[in-house]
Amino acid sequence: PTGGGVAGNIERPEDPENFVLLLAELRTQLDAQGSQDGVHHPLTIALGSGRTAYEPLNWARIHPLLDWINVMTYDMSGNWSQVTGFNSPLYDSVPNPPEVSSTATTLNDLLALGIPANKLVMGVPFYGHGWQGVPVANNGLHQPFTGPAGESGSFDYRDLVANYLSSSEYQAFWDESAQSPYLYSANSGVMIAYDDPRSIVMKANFVREHGLGGMMFWELSQDTDDAALLSTIYAALNAP
């Protein structure tokens, strides 16, 4: 439960029909309570970015029940992947990319399923994923690896700014196809894929061009003290 409504998290729905019935009952109960309260109580879901999360669902029945859908367009590569890749690429990095999807692919799929654009909220990660044991080919991108970098394989953006982006150990790269940055250290064999203000501006432009409902992020404590990523989202979405 959330303040004034209900939010659900959908990774891989195993029972699509009962999922619709659950949402319908929640909507009925929220509307009944809203009539007593004199307010509208929202019903939202957080949706995984892979096709296994959204293709089995009957969106013609689902989207009228929801106020908006937070699309978790991140974790498209990680230490579970076969090769290094982008955490949250805006576009496909290469033909037949190794990433689970891309932000644009997922959102365009959902639009094609008939979901109104203004109900789709793009997710942005305030963290990156890293790998170790990565060879120097292609500056570490789409290469095999021996394990996750660091303690968990994940890096808060604030940590990247403080300890990696300014380090001579790491070289920063920008992938034009994916519209995403990454870091690579040839000495240590570590590659880290993440989002930065530049990639977030590109994503905000996509949101505006497609009339989407907005952007959400995971999560605030991972941003810098001066809110570099959050302030970029706000400025880009509200630019003239």
CATH of 73-237, one of 3.10.50.10, 3.10.20.30, 3.30.230.10, 2.40.128.20: 3.10.50.10
CA distances from 205 to 43, 121, 152, 179, 217 (A): 26, 13, 32, 12, 16
Model pTM score: 0.94
3-class secondary-structure state, position 65:
helix
* Residue 210 pLDDT: 99
Distance from C-alpha of 112 to C-alpha of 106, rounded to nearest angstrom: 10
The closest of 156, 173, 144 to 84, measured between CA atoms, is 144
Rg from Cα positions in the chain: 19
Distance from C-alpha of 66 to C-alpha of 54, rounded to nearest angstrom: 15
* Residue 14 pLDDT: 74
* Residue 15 pLDDT: 85
Burial grade of 221 (CB within 10 A; 0-12, 13-18, 19 or more): exposed
Q: What is the pLDDT of residues 77-130, one digit of tens each?
A: 999 999 999 999 999 999 889 999 999 999 999 999 999 999 999 999 999 999
Distance from C-alpha of 109 to C-alpha of 6, rounded to nearest angstrom: 25
Q: Which amino acid is at 141?
A: L
Q: Which amino acid is at 94?
A: V
**Structural domain boundaries of the chain?**
73-237
Residue given tokens 């007593």 in the structure block? 36
Percent of the chain with pLDDT over 70: 95
pLDDT at residue 221 greater than cutoff 90: yes
pLDDT at residue 2 greater than cutoff 50: no
Name the token pair of 73. Answer: 């367009």
Q: What is the pLDDT of residues 158-203, one digit of tens each?
A: 999 999 999 999 999 999 999 999 999 999 999 999 999 999 999 9
The closest of 227, 229, 168, 196 to 86, measured between CA atoms, is 196
State the average pLDDT for the chain: 95
Q: What is the pLDDT of residues 8-60, one digit of tens each?
A: 565 556 788 999 999 999 999 999 999 999 999 999 999 999 999 999 999 99
**Angle of CA points 201, 7, 33, to nearest 5°:** 130
Distance from C-alpha of 232 to C-alpha of 157, rounded to nearest angstrom: 13
Catalytic positions, written as ranges: 11
Does the bond joining 219 to the residue before it have cis omega, within 30 degrees of 0? yes
Burial grade of 229 (CB within 10 A; 0-12, 13-18, 19 or more): buried
